[in-house]
Amino acid sequence: MRERYFEDWFVGERVETHSITVTRDKVVAFAHEYDPQPFHFDDAAAARSFFGRIAASGWQTASYAMRLVVESGVFGKDGGIGVGVDELRWHKPVYPGDTLRVVCECASKRAQGDKPSGLVHFRNVTYNGADEAVMSHVSIALVAKRAAVRA
């Protein structure tokens, strides 16, 4: 992964990640561990639910999105420090077998004076294999300045 610093980002720049396919086993395991609502792991309960079948937790979708963004090199080899998330929305359910990818756009950036990092707002949209937006959010990250890393 290449080095990527605050100065390297420009507003409007977009990065598209590779894709990952959601599996039933991972949906069920995540649900049991972190979001134990029956429609995430029980076929009968899921059939009676809004979803009609087992669906991934929205938090699992967010975790997949984070993984895809990190693996794409958005934060560079040393990573970025998350400051917050705004405007998180789940637009459509994610089901086992769906393939996800993220389009990440630099929405704004602020240098923060003499501090060794700057704030970058990234607008992220997660899509399924049918190119339908399943989730969107704005992530706010501290991204190191080049001079601070070399000092």
**pLDDT exceeds cutoff 80 at 75:** no
| Model confidence pLDDT, tens digit, residues 86-145 | 999 999 999 999 999 999 999 999 998 999 999 999 999 999 999 999 999 999 999 988
List residues bridging with 126 in a β-sheet.
102, 135
| Domain 6-150 coded CATH 3.10.129.10 | yes
Q: How far apart are the first and last CA of the chain?
A: 21
pLDDT the model gives residue 17: 96
| Model confidence pLDDT, tens digit, residues 15-31 | 999 999 999 999 999 99
Domain layout of the chain by residue ranges: 6-150
How many Å apart are CA 25 and CA 4, to the nearest integer?
35
Handedness of CA 6, 104, 72, 142 (dihedral sign): positive
Band the pLDDT of 2: cuts 50, 70, 90.
low
* Residue 67: half-sphere exposure toward Cβ, Cα within 13 Å: 13
**pLDDT exceeds cutoff 70 at 41:** yes
* Residue 84: half-sphere exposure toward Cβ, Cα within 13 Å: 4
How many Å apart are CA 132 and CA 91, to the nearest integer?
9
